[in-house]
Structure 1
Amino acid sequence: MAGTHEVRVTRVYEPPSGDGARVLVDRLWPRGLSKEAAALDEWCKQVAPSNELRHWYGHAPERFDAFTARYLDELRDPERAAALDGLRALCRERDVTLLTATTTPDISHAAVLARLLTEAV
């Protein structure tokens, strides 16, 4: 059952706005963004998809379902699973905003993570 804390997804380039904990979930640092402007509470790159999966997906909407299945499989890796558990713990404590640099956050790994965290809190 989901907890009372909200999990949101937004672009890391958007200014903070009552976001709760701001967690960057991309493997690479966003281009052209200073650490101050990002206003992160945490950078959890361990939950980002592998470079191979990210390149294969290429944010092609028709591949989103297959991407989701492959990404969920990657999250079973012990290091990624441990990082995901840390995010779950944070979600039990406060609202969380998952940040990504992608231009299509609604079909990104961050959206998959938000759904997973919302279902599992």
Structure 2
Amino acid sequence: MTRPTHRDLPDIRLQRAYDDPGANDGYRVLVDRFWPRGRRRDALRLDEWARDLAPEPALIQWFGHRPERWDEFRQRYGAWLDEPAQAQRLSELLRAAGDGVLTLVYGARDETQNQAVVMREALIRAAKQQ
């Protein structure tokens, strides 16, 4: 079995829900459990809302976007995403995007420490296993 090259990995982008959608966003998926405040559904131009893949409320509350908790949040949420049921859903998202772009839309202010970052990592792991 050959390992995928960098070119074979999916193009997975992250975008804040408060930024306007782009023409080249491809398949757009909201990855928050709760709808972003003040945003209308039509303004987000979503193809899917994957709230079933969002972190559980207790984990979100525990994390509280505290930088000192990021590593543990990333590990716990990433491990949950790697479980069979969630891994299957991640594969479904990859299939839905096909060879195009998959854009994960999130509401967090922090662009480097949020659930979309962890989900992107899990999607890349899932793509490597396909």
The normalised TM-score by structure 2 is 0.82
- Per the alignment, residue 47 of structure 1 pairs with 53
- Per the alignment, residue 11 of structure 1 pairs with 16
Instruction: Answer yes or no: is the 8 Å Cα contact 2:32–2:106 preserved in 1.
Output: yes
Pick from 61, 69, 80 the counterpart of residue 74 of structure 1: 80
Runs of 5+ unmatched residues, structure 2:
none
Runs of 5+ unmatched residues, structure 1:
none
Is 2:37 aligned against 1:26?
A: no
Structure 1 residue 4: deviation in Å? Answer: 5.0
- Per the alignment, residue 111 of structure 1 pairs with 117
1:93 alignment partner, SS class: coil
Distance (Å, rounded) in 1 between the aligned partners of 2:52 and 2:84: 10
Instruction: Answer yes or no: is the 8 Å Cα contact 2:87–2:126 preserved in 1.
Output: no
Pick from 15, 35, 49 the counterpart of residue 41 of structure 2: 35
Q: Pairwise CA RMSD of aligned residues? A: 1.8
Structure 1 residue 92: deviation in Å? Answer: 4.1
Aligned residues: 121
Distance (Å, rounded) in 1 between the aligned partners of 2:120 and 2:81: 13
Distance (Å, rounded) in 1 between the aligned partners of 2:121 and 2:83: 19
Distance (Å, rounded) in 2 between the aligned partners of 1:5 and 1:77: 20
The normalised TM-score by structure 1 is 0.88
Letter in 1 for 2:120: A
Q: Percent identity?
A: 37
Structure 1 residue 59: deviation in Å? Answer: 1.0
Instruction: Answer yes or no: is the 8 Å Cα contact 1:91–1:117 preserved in 2.
Output: no
